[in-house]
Amino acid sequence: MIAVDKLQQSLKILKGKTIGLLGLTFKPDTDDMRDAPSLDLIQELNRLGAKVKAYDPIISQSGMRHGLTGVVVETDPERLADGCDALVLVTDWKQFEKLDYGKMAKSMEHNLFVDGRNFCDRKELEAAGFQYVGIGH
């Protein structure tokens, strides 16, 4: 999994680290979790001993957990970032372009941002204090 490789390159050991996932669903504007990459990511991060948190605009608000295990679903992006070692953008929700990344970076342990969709503005995230890592798709 490319996202896990990128996390390991920057953080080295994932055991004991807290990883925040931005987005859980298969694609934006849906609650469809079938074949969602987040499911494999959660499983692999758990296997490596990481604590996993997530925020998704629909899943977090609906309270539907779709049988999610091994992940704490937060109610807003700021709570997600709090105490995280890294954030991974999984689903390219439009509202993720407008988050207060500066505020989020300040509440994190390490400021690693892995953009799984090459969706966010690298310069903006770096200006907010993140170490930005993109993934091609």
CA atoms within 13 A on the CB side of 11: 29
CB 57 within 8 A of CB 24: no
* pLDDT per residue as tens digits for the range 60-104: 777 666 668 899 999 999 999 999 999 999 999 999 999 999 999
Cα distance between residue 39 and residue 120, in whole Å: 22
Cα distance between residue 43 and residue 58, in whole Å: 21
CATH code assigned at 125 = 3.40.50.720
In the chain, how many domains are there? Answer: 1
Q: What is residue 58's three-state secondary structure?
A: helix
Domain that residue 106 falls in = 2-90+98-134
User: Is 49 exposed, middle or buried, given 0-12, 13-18 or 19+ CB atoms closer than 10 A?
Assistant: exposed
Considering the entire predicted model, what is its pTM? 0.94
